[in-house]
Amino acid sequence: MAPFIHQRHKPPRTLSAPRELIVACCPMRSNVNLARIVRTAGCCGVSRVIACGRPRLDPEIVRDALECVALETHRSLPPVLARLKRDGYAIIGIEQTTESIDIHTYAFPRRAVLVIGNERLGIDESVLALLDAAVEIPVFGRPLSYNAASAADMALYEYCRQYPCA
């Protein structure tokens, strides 16, 4: 068996078409979480992230993701989501609810907005009312939910697993 040769970074895979996924973040308590979400969006080929509140990105975390990810800021998320829904996007929240669907069985629509909730409060009721689906990531211990950036990472990865080349 030939030895493995260390390759620090391989070039990105080529998408056959731009991803039809948008990440929308409720106001975050931590700009570190937002920066991690933007960085993961860049790695996944997602070109649009919407943030509410007063977002600031840590350049050490985001690194070169802003070369391919457009960060939009808005005062409030519901009007933006309502417009995207009218434009044909499914609004999918990563949240634990009474009707949430396990991420292991959920088939993401190709054209979707992935809504990430606040670290402590989750997704606000006004945003929950706009969701087409709530998807939960099972927790097997404590605490009872994942960090917002970690949950976004897992959901983005699952979307990309389902649509590997757009």
What is the Rg, in whole angstroms, of the alpha carbon atoms belonging to the chain?
16
Work out the percent of the chain whose per-residue pLDDT is above 70. 99
Taking every pair of Cα atoms in the chain, the longest distance, rounded to a whole number of angstroms, is 57
- The two beta strands, 112-116 and 90-94, are parallel
pTM: 0.93
Which pLDDT does position 8 carry in this prediction? 79
Cα 36 to Cα 7, 75, 90: the distances in Å are 23, 21, 24
Q: How far apart are CA 48 and CA 74, in angstroms?
A: 13
pLDDT digits (tens, 9 = 90+) for 23-41: 999 999 999 999 999 999 9
Which pLDDT does position 10 carry in this prediction? 81
Which pLDDT does position 72 carry in this prediction? 96
Which tokens hold the place of 142?
């404590």
Sorted by where each starts, the structural domains of the chain and their CATH numbers stand as 26-162 (3.40.1280.10)
Which tokens hold the place of 37?
């979400």
Average of pLDDT values for 126-146? 96
Partners of residue 134 on adjacent β-strands: 93
Which tokens hold the place of 10?
């391989």
Relative orientation angle of helices 31-43 and 148-162, to the nearest 10 degrees: 10
pLDDT digits (tens, 9 = 90+) for 58-93: 888 998 899 999 999 999 999 999 999 999 999 999
What number of CA atoms fall less than 13 Å from residue 94's CA on the CB side?
A: 33
